[in-house]
Amino acid sequence: MPDFKRVEKEMFPSSRAAIKTKGRQKNQPPDKFRTEFQRDIHRIIYSQSFRRLRHKTQVFYFPQNDHVSTRMDHVIFVASAAKTVARCLGLNEDLAEAIGLAHDIGHPPFGHQGETFLNEIITKNDTLKKKMHGFSHEIYGLRVVDKIAKRDREKPGLNLTWEVRDGIISHCGEDFKTCKLVPGSKNKKLSEIKNRKDAGYPATLEGCIVRLIDRVAYCGKDIEDAIAAKVIKEKDVPKNIIKKLGRTNGKIIGSFVENIIQQSQNKDYIAMSREYGDLLHSMTDFNYENIYHSHESQRYGKQAKLSVKLLFDNLLEIYQNTNKFQNFKEDYKTPDVHNIFAEYVKDMQGIYEKSDPDELVVLDFIAGMTDSFVVRAFQELFIPKATV
């Protein structure tokens, strides 16, 4: 069969575009139809970890309003806008899209609050502390795509390209004042990175696009969602933001995208103007004060935290009491969450090392849960039921 792939240099003409890849963790023959980064797009979207993002918090816990964003909506918005910027700059659209889709794949249930819950579990557990330097979704995201994410009945691990993996682990950490991103080192040893500082900036311009677009995409949409959820009213949004950027999320994103393209043309960095950087900073401050720290977005924070903590303790107990499920017997009384956990452990055989503590297995399982599954598991395990 002939090779139908188009030549990357023809599709992405900029001399600064990422062409080809440094490689994958495991070598594999090239695909006859797809570029390496396009191949990664498909590996990501067909993975169970990606599909679960549809039921993970963006800002508001498992929204019942279909027009309020979930984590999956957010990554699609980022991938779409990043691809547009890459196209206009002659950069690799496939790479920008792949990083955009996977950048939040390490998010646990309950969004950034969920990160805090898991981080507290780690800091209070000496065994886990030796293995993990706290919980941050971008560092954990690399663990997900390297070891945990799977495509249905295939073995865990997506075996993504180095450039996409770098984009995931390096997509976060801004101070919300930075307007210019210069690509970082291409010699980073990704598997040895333990914190944001060590991750630095993405090594490709495409990764820098995603890092900048990420902030743009969530700031505008979070305002839109907060209005839909009646957390704020449109009149609450600062007038200078509406005047300069527009009153809708589409206008806001469009304004930032245009500015980023203008400021980054034929440059060896990705940037926005100082004026737009200040506007983004103002939006972020407004969102934190009126949305992220609002009573409505944090109303069930204590309950969510308690749910995660009790689940961790219960699942660790069942894991150890059944000798890592080797002595586990399923019957009609067995909680569904225990059955699913046992199946997870079976699927992950050969992935964990002997030095990996039991607590890490439990933490990985909980971090992969959706908001709704946490609630369902909690109800199943801890809410009394009629016995007669």
Residue 101's contacts (CB-CB under 8 Å, 6 or more residues apart) are 41, 44, 45, 50, 75, 76, 78, 79
Express each pLDDT in 280-292 by its tens digit. Answer: 999 999 999 999 9
**What was the pLDDT predicted at 9?**
86
Two tokens, residue 123: 């800091």
Which CATH entry fits the domain spanning 8-105+149-298: 1.10.3210.10, 1.10.510.10, 3.50.30.40, 1.10.10.2840? 1.10.3210.10
Q: Which amino acid is at 120?
A: E
- Residue located via tokens 């890490």: 360
* Per-residue exposure over 259-285, b if at least 16 CB sit within 10 Å of its own CB, e if not: bbbebbeeeeebbbeeebbebbbbbbe
CB atoms within 10 A of CB 118: 25
- Rounded distance, CA 81 to CA 91, Å? 13
Instruction: Please measure the distance between the N-terminal and C-terminal CA atoms of the chain and give it in whole angstroms.
Output: 66
371 burial type by CB count under 10 A (0-12 exposed, 13-18 middle, 19+ buried): buried
**What was the pLDDT predicted at 4?**
66
Q: Contact at 8 Å (CB) between 368 and 49?
A: yes
Q: Contact at 8 Å (CB) between 108 and 138?
A: no
Identify the CA nearest to 107 among candidates 212, 218, 257: 218
What Å distances lie between residue 23 and 37, 138, 144, 186, CA to CA? 11, 21, 18, 12
**What was the pLDDT predicted at 60?**
85
- Rounded distance, CA 138 to CA 103, Å? 7
What Å distances lie between residue 118 and 111, 291, 365, 381, CA to CA? 11, 22, 12, 20
**What was the pLDDT predicted at 3?**
62
Q: Contact at 8 Å (CB) between 43 and 207?
A: no
Identify the CA nearest to 378 among candidates 300, 308, 287, 329: 308
The number of C-alpha atoms within 13 Å of 10 and in the hemisphere containing its C-beta is 4
- Rounded distance, CA 77 to CA 215, Å? 11
Regions in the chain scoring below 70 on pLDDT: 1-4, 174
- Rounded distance, CA 268 to CA 182, Å? 7
Q: Contact at 8 Å (CB) between 170 and 132?
A: no
- Tell me 24's DSSP state: B
pTM greater than 0.75 (yes/no): yes
Q: Contact at 8 Å (CB) between 125 and 52?
A: no
What Å distances lie between residue 270 and 12, 74, 85, CA to CA? 16, 21, 10
Which of 83-89's residues contact partners 24+ apart within 8 Å by CB, and which partners?
84/257, 85/209, 85/213, 85/257, 85/260, 85/261, 85/264, 85/270, 86/12, 86/206, 86/209, 88/261, 89/14, 89/16, 89/205, 89/209, 89/261, 89/264, 89/265
CB atoms within 10 A of CB 13: 10
Helix (H, G, I), strand (E, B) or coil at 192: helix
Indicate the domain borders of the chain. 8-105+149-298, 301-382
